[in-house]
Structure 1
Amino acid sequence: MSAHNVMSFDDLSAVKPQVEATRDEIMLGGNPQSTTWLISESPDGKMFTGIWQSDRFHIRLRQNGETEYCHILEGVVRLTDSEGNISTFSAGQAFTLGPDFDGEWESLGRVRKHFVVYAP
């Protein structure tokens, strides 16, 4: 039996995946469908943790005040800010998207990540 109030990212059998279609107005290419396994949400609805997955996926991304921590489990992500600066992350790497990030997210093939989002 697991300890109370401890959620594992390893066993998703009790978590119903949410399949989402990305809004057309932010899609730049690839498959607009992604899947999220929401592991936890804070009582005030401001913090979320889970696993997110996409195939080739390219969107316009504005954080709009949210901060997101990502740990890439599979694949490669390329982030391009509004000034054209590029950061690339692959499996085993982690990064944070600050609340003022404005640019593009591109999954270069299948990407799977752990995430923590804080939305004040």
Structure 2
Amino acid sequence: MTLLKTVITNPSTAPRESKALPERLIAGDPSFKTWAQDEAKDGTVRTGVWEATPGEVRSIKGETFEFCHILSG
């Protein structure tokens, strides 16, 4: 078993669309698209592609480690 996942940077499936939660919104009106490519049993996205429109939100990660590779923007 390997922990490495191949990320499809141009997915052909429809994304899950969402907006910033009001309690996390700092500025603007950002919206998000998420293409999950690997999910945990609880529905948490472990690997995928995420896209956002301009805006500023407060991120709450707690003990979660996150690796992010910016493709553009």
Task: Please indicate, yes or no, whether the TM-score normalized by the shorter chain is above 0.5.
Answer: yes
Q: Report the TM-score, using the length of structure 2 for normalisation.
A: 0.75
Contiguous gaps of at least 5 residues in structure 2: none
Moved over 3 A (4+): 42-47
Q: How does 1:69-108 map to 2 (within 5 A)?
A: 69-75=67-73
Cα distance change, pair 25–43 in 1 and its aligned pair in 2 (3 A): closer
Contact 1:7 1:40 in 2 (8 A): no
**1:12 — aligned with what?**
11
Query: Aligned residues: percent identity?
Result: 29
Q: Which runs of 5+ in 1 are unaligned?
A: 1-5, 76-120
Map 1:1-120; keep pairs closer than 5 Å.
8-13=7-12, 15-43=13-41, 48-75=46-73
Residues 9 and 26 (structure 1 numbering): CA distance in 2 closer, same or farther, change over 3 Å?
same
Q: How far apart in 1 are the matches of 2:42 and 2:31? A: 28
Instruction: Decide which structure has the larger Cα Rg and report it.
Output: 1
- Most deviating of 54-63 and 44-53: 44-53
